Structure 1
Amino acid sequence: MKKSDCDFSPLKQQLIEQLEDIVLHLREGIHTLKTDSGCTLSRLESIKDQFETVETMAASFYLNCYLAPFTDKYLDISTCIQHLSSQRHGALIVIERKDSVDPFIRPGTPMGAALTHPLLESIFYPGNPLHDGAVLIRSNKIFSAANILPLSSQNWSDKKLGTRHRAAIGLTETCDALVLVVSEETGKVSFAVDGKLHPIITASSPL
């Protein structure tokens, strides 16, 4: 990741401010404990909520940082997932990075089309025969659609993850691809990288 890819971002400044606020609250909590001047439980609950907010903000910030070196179309991708989220159209989008994903996926329908957010959104429109599989993005093109990804080998029964989410995690356990998931049940958006799933900010999930 190039340093310049993530510089001067308003979201980065918000992250810094949120983290500084958490540090302030932690220091106040420590002072309260040391001086026996009150109960810290409510303060700890507030800090927990702030951490969850910061995690989501950080994931949104780093998503563009992860995408920028490998595609110039990361704004189209971001716009697409925002729209899919608001409409609760499920989606699974693979962005190939350094590693080829060919050895790990069952290929679907070749496309070789220029990446635009209207085209990407249309693939996942309910009723489209390609909408159930994963779209593969290579550089600035939609390389193929309706690809089948390997499911994660981990036991995710306690987290009640659907097939799309387990497929996203499964592929990123085997290569360095980044996989975006939109839940058709909730509209929530996550991305998987290095076998881990991270929630990100959308208009339908405001902070």
Structure 2
Amino acid sequence: MMRRQFFLLPLMINALMACLAMALTNITTDQHALLAFKSQLKLDPSHILSKNWSVSFPTGKWIGVTCSPRHQRVSALDVSGMRLSGNLPSQLGNLSFLASLNLSSNSFHGQLPKELAQLHRLRYLDFRLNGLTGDIPFWLGLLVELRFLNLRNNSFTGTIPSSITNMSKLQVLDLSNNPLQGNIPEAVGSLFNFYP
């Protein structure tokens, strides 16, 4: 009996160390993703992020960042109206617990990184009033938990992807004031929770 317990002890210690390493990696992953976002900024006129977003402070205390009390992971990022400018880094897709992303009323430009498709918990996505370009990406349809999607007042071109109809929980959709072409996919009108 003693021999069996002796054998199980190293396994339990290894499992505990793996769990602790995973938790640390996840918190570190979130922090690295946010620091990559900060590093892509070309303009931060009030220097809010450059002063506050630092490894000297817990990530949950960073301005615009909310961590979930349960997992201590980043659940919301809201830097709306901060007059920020720059490209969006692919590392934002590593914020795997993100439920709300609001970058509205800034001057972000370039295309949306495809890695954002990894944000499967995302319910709220607001990129209005920026300078984002390219097609509205088809992978938005992978964000099936989305309730709110606002891409108004950008420079998106092309057509509205039919994959948007995969977002059956969508309640608000605003793609206005973009130089889009073609027709609105008919299936958009059949979204169960969609309110025009």
- Please report the TM-score for the alignment, with normalisation by the length of structure 1: 0.28
Greater RCO structure (CA 8 Å; 6+ sep): 1
Task: Give 1 or 2: higher helix fraction.
Answer: 1
- Compare CA radii of gyration and give the structure with the larger one: 2
TM-score of the aligned structures, taking structure 2 as reference length: 0.29
